[in-house]
Amino acid sequence: MAAMLEVRDLTTGYTDVPLIADLSISLAPGEVVALLGANGSGKTTVLRAIMGLLPAWQGRVVFDGQEVTRRAVHERVKAGLVMVPAGRRLFFGLSVEDNLKMGGYLTWESRLLRERMAEVFALFPELGKLRTHLAGKLSGGEQQMVALGRALMARPRALLIDELSLGLAPVVVERLMPAVEKIRNLFGIPVLFVEQDVLRAVELADRAYVLDQGRIAMEGHPKQFAQDRRLIRAYMGV
Amino acid sequence: MLEARLSSFLREGQRLQVSAAAVGAVALAVVLLLLPNWLSGYWLRITTSVLMFATLAQAWNIITGFTGYPAFGNTAFFGVGAYALAILVTKAGLGIPAAIVLAGLAAAAFCAVIGLPILRLQGHYFAIATLALSLFVREAAANLGWLTNGAIGIVLPTLASGSPEEITRPYYYLMLLVLVACCACTWWVSVSRFGYGLRSIKADEDAAACFGINTTLSKLVAWVLSAFFTGLAGAVWALWITFIDPQSAFNLAIAVKFSVMALLGGLGTVAGPVLGALLVEVLTQAIWGAFYAVHLAVLGLAIMLIVLLMPGGLMQLLRDRLATAKRLLATPSAKESWR
């Protein structure tokens, strides 16, 4: 099957030292793929580079058959590549509804926005009750739901999720993780997600990459290397 | 169509606020149109100056209040507008209305050219770059003698003669027109998708890009709009004082004034900068009259006190008071009397 998202030999970084080098990953339609690795291994950088928030030095990013390597961030979003950033980055002074509305910026048509909001509230019934509440007053888990919902408002054709579990209690993560699966099953959106919590990620993903110092150290079916020592070593950085 | 789309976005309470604001705006418009009949020449000049600074503060509000880019160097566009008008009127012999509009467009075009590189900077770097820009344009105006008469300056024809009231009246109305246009534009920004985009750029530029906002273009359009109205105000100002030179047209003290006014009134609101301009200008006049020798020191002190006591600006203060009043009205219950 042709890949929805194809990253080929990508090299980039913030200063003049590459943080990720010759990195190749792919995401097939309907697939849920985990990107694992220790702190500082470059996971977030990979997502930022795919979105175009960080320009690629070398290599290509191909989305749905189109080369987007040199395209601006907003053009990639328009094409259907949408990211849920780490730490949620909501507008705390705005209501849940207005935060969701911002996610639908490219449409901004009230009928469509209402339709999509209803979908989000169907996915996260908790949010429906909180729609007029300020995002800043919600719990971490609820905020993460808003962040996921906001991304869905843009009608993504592929979703990148950066650290869903960041700063959340394990119980909350337990309830959020199934949402990722639902997103795939209900909307048929392939998901590439970065995760610290290996065991949970392994349960969820069809495939996983392990990133070590900016390079892919391993790739495969997560269950087959869940117990693998190499994974533990790469992940723990020992 | 537009109205239907708009109203569907505004919740009930907001819709009520909008109609109240519309009634207020009409009443205000009538008062402002009739005002020159009641004021002395002295107060008419002060009022015209309030209108001018309100425009500058409001224009600054678009790029700084909504978008979060502190463009202190907006004085560059004020000066460009003033010079463009002077040159178009004295050298090209253009009519006044056409010259004013073209002067605004000249400032906007200038901003469009220099905006792209400067808007790559953020925060303090951006602020300083805009200040440098203003100084650069002042030097250019002083040295391009064939176009600007250099340091000698340009003398402009007067529009009216007669009593002090009659002389000031046309400038009052021109300034009023510019301010109304600028406020209308800011109001549009405050309710449009474009404005939501600007506010999200202010809050978090990377996140804004991730919603599909073309951040580069949005910032540029915001600054170009700001420059356009600043240039219009500069053009009318040049007509009004009838003599411009580089020192007066590119005066950074103007930037201090309009930014204080906008901050005082409330950034990111439509009414705030106008209220701020009124307050500061009236305060300046009152203090100037009462403390002739040390009026600048007293004014500075007053501004410091105001900023310390209401950092969110007048609009925030009003909003808080309104919210408290509403809460008190809604719950006249045990809680409040118990307190």
Smallest CA–CA distance from A88 into chain B, residue: B207
Asked if B316 is an interface residue toward chain A (Cβ–Cβ < 8 A), one would say: no
Please give the pLDDT value at position A35: 92
All residues at 6 or more sequence positions from A178 whose CB lies less than 8 Å from its CB, including other chains: none
Residue B245 in this model has a pLDDT that exceeds 80: yes
> Please, are residues B103 and B87 in contact by the beta-carbon 8 Å criterion?
no
pLDDT at B336: 39
Please state the rounded mean pLDDT for residues A131-158: 93
User: pLDDT at residue B331 above 60?
Assistant: no
User: How far from chain centre, in Å, is Cα A45?
Assistant: 12
CB contact under 8 A, A82 and B206: no
Position B9 pLDDT exceeds 70: no
Q: What does the alpha-carbon distance between residue B36 and residue A85 come to, in Å, rounded to a whole number? A: 56
User: Looking at residue B304, what is its pLDDT?
Assistant: 80
Helices (H), chain B: 2-9, 12-34, 41-60, 75-90, 96-118, 123-143, 145-148, 164-191, 193-203, 205-210, 215-241, 246-249, 252-265, 272-290, 295-309, 313-330, 334-338
What does the pLDDT read at residue B329?
A: 72
Per-residue pLDDT band at B12 (split at 50, 70, 90): low
- A103 chain-B contacts, CB cut-off 8 A: 211
pLDDT tens per residue, range A188-232: 899 999 988 777 788 889 999 988 888 888 888 877 666 676 666
Spatial neighbors of B137 by CB under 8 A, at least 6 apart, are B76, B79, B80, B250
Asked if the C-beta of A74 comes within 8 angstroms of chain B's C-beta atoms, the answer is: yes
pLDDT at A75 over 70: yes
Residue of B nearest to A76 (CA): B212
Mean pLDDT computed over B251-255: 90
Q: Which of B133-147, B182-196, B273-287 has the lowest mean pLDDT?
A: B273-287
Give the whole-angstrom CA distance, residue A36 versus residue B194. 38
Q: What is the largest CA-CA distance in chain A?
A: 53
| Cα separation, B247 vs B141, whole angstroms | 10
Q: Does the pLDDT at position B11 exceed 80? A: no
Establish if A106 touches chain B: CB-CB under 8 angstroms.
yes
The arithmetic mean of pLDDT across residues B165-170, rounded, is 90
Return the closest-CA partner of residue B114 out of B207, B198, B213, B226: B226
- Strand, coil or helix: A82: strand
- pLDDT of B292 > 90? The answer is no
Q: Least CB-CB distance to B212: which of A53, A110, A154?
A: A154
pLDDT over 60 (residue B334): no
The secondary structure of B222-254 as a DSSP string is: HHHHHHHHHHHHHHHHHHHHSEE-HHHHT-HHH
Q: Is B323 on the interface with A (CB under 8 A)?
A: no
Instruction: Tell if the CB–CB gap between A109 and B9 is shorter than 8 Å.
Output: no
B30 — contact with chain A (CB < 8 Å)?
A: no
Contact of B259 with chain A, judged by CB distance below 8 Å, is answered with no
Q: Which of B186, B217, B244, B241 is nearest to B56 (CA)?
A: B186
Q: What is the mean pLDDT of residues B175-201?
A: 95
Give the residue, A152 or B283, on which the prediction is more confident. Answer: A152
pLDDT at A235 over 70: no
Cα dihedral B293→B297→B300→B304 (10° resolution): -140
CATH code for the domain defined by A1-80+159-238: 3.40.50.300
The sign one gets for the Cα dihedral A114, A117, A123, A129 is negative
What residues does A208 pair with on adjacent strands? Answer: A34, A220
Q: How many CB atoms lie within 10 A of CB B245?
A: 18
pLDDT of B62 over the 70 cut = yes
A77 to chain B: closest CA residue: B212
Q: How far is CA B337 from CA B218, B322, B332, in A?
A: 50, 19, 8
pLDDT digits (tens, 9 = 90+) for A44-64: 999 999 999 999 999 999 999
Question: What confidence tier does A238 reach under pLDDT thresholds 50, 70, 90?
Answer: very low
Q: Closest Cα partner for B282 from B307, B270, B309, B264?
A: B264
Q: What percent of chain A stands above pLDDT 70? A: 93
Task: Show residues of chain B in contact with A106, CB under 8 Å.
Answer: 211-212
Cβ-in-10-Å burial (0-12, 13-18, 19+) of B157 comes to exposed
B27-39 per-position pLDDT tens digit: 888 899 999 999 9
Average pLDDT over residues B99-119: 96
ipTM of the complex: 0.87
pLDDT band of B335, cuts 50, 70, 90:
very low
- B158 Cβ neighbours under 8 A, 6+ residues apart: B167, B242
Mean pLDDT of chain A: 88
Interface of B with A in 173-212 (CB under 8 A): 193, 196-197, 200, 203-204, 206-207, 209-212
Q: Where are the domains of chain A?
A: 1-80+159-238, 85-155
Given this model, what pLDDT does residue B4 score? 52
* CB-CB neighbors (< 8 A) of B9 in chain A: 110
Q: Do A154 and B211 touch (CB under 8 A)?
A: yes
Question: How far apart (Å, rounded) are the C-alpha atoms in residues A43 and A73?
Answer: 18
Which token pair is B308?
Answer: 């310390």
Residues of B in contact with A152 (CB under 8 A): none
- Worst-scoring range by mean pLDDT, A213-217, B126-130, B293-297? B293-297
Cβ neighbours for A128, distance < 8 A, ≥ 6 positions apart:
A121
Query: What does pLDDT average to over chain B?
Result: 88
pLDDT in tens, A7-32: 999 999 988 889 999 999 999 999 99
Alpha-carbon distances of B81 from B73, B84, B220, rounded to whole Å: 14, 5, 18
Q: How many residues does chain B have?
A: 339
B281 CB-near residues (< 8 Å, 6+ apart): B46, B49, B50, B53, B261
Does A87 lie at the interface with B, CB-CB under 8 angstroms?
no
